[in-house]
Amino acid sequence: MATAFDVIIIGGGPAGYVCAIRAAQLGLSTAVVEKDKLGGVCVNIGCIPTKALLHSAYVANLVAHDAKDLGIGVSGVTADYGVAMRRSRKVSEQNSKGVEFLMKKHKITVIKGTGVMGKNRTVRVGPDEYQARKAIVIATGSRVKGIPQIGLEINKTTVISSDEALFLEQAPKTLAVIGAGAVGCEFADIFNAFGTKVTLIEVLPRILPIEDAESSDALAKTYRKRGITVLAGAKVTKAVVGKDKVTLTIEAGGKTETVEVERVLMAAGRAVNIESMGFEEAGVKLTDRGFVKVDPVTLQTTAPGVYCIGDVAGPPMLAHKGSREGINVAELIAGKHPHPIKYDNVPSVTYCHPEVASIGLTEDQVKEKKLDYQVGRFPFSANGRARSTGETEGFVKIIRDKKYGEILGAHIVGSHASELIHELTVARENEYTVEEVDLAIHAHPTLSEAIAEAALDSMGRVIHI
């Protein structure tokens, strides 16, 4: 006789565990199947440990470059990646334990092992079979993948992924990061601060290709100043992987160059976890691009009563998008009618220095859609608070609809951009226009004033420039 739950969630990452908590809150008996640690990639080998390392990188730069100006004399500064790495592991463990606690608190059963679906909403974990009375939720997430076609298969020694980078005892002397999305840019930032000579390679014309061109350019400029070699529009045509070095042939701007590095970090591409999960048996189908096929509103798969959330349900592959889907699906299963997810209002954040954050459309996308728009900008160099901390890099850029003032997109580069962006996320979610953003009084002196100023600038009324 199979043990039965109302809801069985396969995967305990930020989509799955949040879904479980919401389901439990709604009075559903809930189980989470997790083969590794609770919290998934995010908590264990993604968001959380990289933020810990990025903080170390920030302090390293602060002490090495800015402390003297701030009146703090320092000497004999060392940056030890191993120590920073061990600290990041502790942070991850604390967070994973936190998720365990949350599962206990909400009386959610955690089943250790790999879940395989069968017919009629059953899940097998090892020898045991479980029955989902109401629903199964697939939340198995994604993993890194290399680019085997150019000879860059991850070998975990010279060609590594973020999975290995997070456990290195020391920073390599030289490193090529392939792929300049959020992951690539963050690792370039980290290793640069720990003394590695970093070459950042992006096949698309700009680093952070999904961000606004101005954001990409601002970050590239800062990176170059800090000694990171930024190669955008660059293609790796050949890779020779040796025992302790890798030689890359790179084509960029009509020129071919060769780069020899101690390690290559593959930060391009992720594969979703869909293998050996009994999809066929359960009736779950995939899209052409290999994601699980779901109804865009209910997130139900092609199998009735089987839902799918997070990375495996399709892009954007972001923890906060997965969590929101988890909440919505739990509410749907409980018979509620949650508000539909606004996929065009998912913030995007890269935690490099300066941070890059955005919401909504880029200027290029606005142009493509032929919308009538007006851009407002405000540089942090004109912001009192930014000056007082010496973090004057970057800007706030708001793209508004010319007629109605709708905030079509907003882009922030600068210190604490990851926190600042949410004012504009709330504004967009509630359909506030640039006028309401300005009308809300912003405390002085704060970085947030730059947002109000950018809103004003979009209306031609900027005060402080």
Partner 1 sequence: MATKVVMEALSPTMEEGRLVEWKKGEGESVAVGDVLAEVETDKAVMELVARAGGTLLKQVVPAGTTVPVSQLVALIGEPGEQVPAETNGKETTAKPKGPAEAPAAQPTPDENRPTSMPPAPPAEPRPAPSPSGRQPVPAPKPSQPGGRVKASPLARRIAEERGIDLSSVSGTGPEGRVVLRDLETAGATPAAAISRAMPRTGDGAPYTDTPLTQIRKTIAKRLVQSIGPVPTFYLTSEVDMERVWDAREALKTLGDGPKVSFNDIIIKAVASALRQHPACNAWWQDDHIRYWNEVHVSMAVAVEEGLITPVIRHTDLKTLREIAAETQDLAARARERRLRPEEYTGGTFSVSNLGMLDIVEFTAIINPPETGIIAVGRIAQVPVAHEGAMTIRRRMRLTMSCDHRVIDGATGARFLQTLKAMLENPLAIVY
Positive or negative CA dihedral for 204, 208, 211, 215? negative
Please, which residue, 190 or 456, has the CB nearer to partner 1?
Answer: 456
CA 368 to chain CA centroid, nearest Å: 25
Taking contact as CB under 8 A, which single stretch among the options 64-72, 230-238, 368-376, 404-412 is the one that binds partner 1?
404-412
Among 404, 445, 461, 463, binds partner 1 (CB under 8 A): 404
Check if the beta carbon of residue 40 is closer than 8 Å to that of residue 96: no
Could you give the C-alpha distances from 250 to 19, 172, 220, 329, 338, in angstroms and in order?
44, 20, 18, 45, 49
CB atoms near residue 27 (< 10 Å): 9
Among 403, 445, 461, 465, binds partner 1 (CB under 8 A): 403
Q: Is 105 in the site for partner 1 (CB under 8 A)?
A: no
Q: How many angstroms separate the CA atoms of 81 and 50, rounded?
A: 12
Catalytic: 444? yes
Catalytic residue among 320, 353, 411, 444: 444
Q: Is 436 in the site for partner 1 (CB under 8 A)?
A: yes
Q: Is 338 in the site for partner 1 (CB under 8 A)?
A: yes
Among 60, 432, 438, 455, binds partner 1 (CB under 8 A): 432
Please, which residue, 83 or 439, has the CB nearer to partner 1?
Answer: 439
Please, which residue, 28 or 356, has the CB nearer to partner 1?
Answer: 28
Strand order in the sheet with 263-266: 159-160, 263-266, 174-178, 197-202, 229-232
- For the chain, the 3-state helix, strand and coil shares in percent, each to the nearest 5, are 35, 25, 40
Among 40, 172, 376, 405, binds partner 1 (CB under 8 A): 405
Q: How many angstroms separate the CA atoms of 465 and 463, rounded?
A: 6
Among 370, 430, 443, 444, binds partner 1 (CB under 8 A): 430
Q: How many angstroms separate the CA atoms of 396 and 465, rounded?
A: 13
Q: Which tokens hold the place of 100?
A: 């365990």
Among 34, 186, 331, 457, binds partner 1 (CB under 8 A): 331
Number of residues that bind partner 1 (CB under 8 A): 16
Among 74, 431, 445, 463, binds partner 1 (CB under 8 A): 431
Q: How far is the CB of 265 from partner 1 (least distance, A)?
A: 42
Please, which residue, 209 or 338, has the CB nearer to partner 1?
Answer: 338
Please, which residue, 112 or 336, has the CB nearer to partner 1?
Answer: 336
Angle at 325 between CA 321 and CA 330, to 5 degrees: 155
Interface characters, 75-104, with partner 1 (x: CB under 8 A): ------------------------------
Please, which residue, 21 or 193, has the CB nearer to partner 1?
Answer: 21
Q: How many angstroms separate the CA atoms of 464 and 462, rounded?
A: 6
Q: How far is the CB of 406 from partner 1 (least distance, A)?
A: 5
Q: Is 336 in the site for partner 1 (CB under 8 A)?
A: yes
Q: How many angstroms separate the CA atoms of 323 and 329, rounded?
A: 10
Please, which residue, 198 or 327, has the CB nearer to partner 1?
Answer: 327
Taking contact as CB under 8 A, which single stretch among the options 47-55, 306-314, 391-399, 403-411 is the one that binds partner 1?
403-411
Check if the beta carbon of residue 233 is closer than 8 Å to that of residue 205: yes
Q: Which tokens hold the place of 160?
A: 């590594």
Q: Is 337 in the site for partner 1 (CB under 8 A)?
A: yes
Strand order in the sheet with 407-414: 348-350, 355-360, 407-414, 395-401, 373-379
User: Where on the chain is the footprint of partner 1 (CB under 8 A)?
Assistant: 331, 336-340, 403-406, 430-433, 435-436
Q: Which residues are catalytic?
A: 444
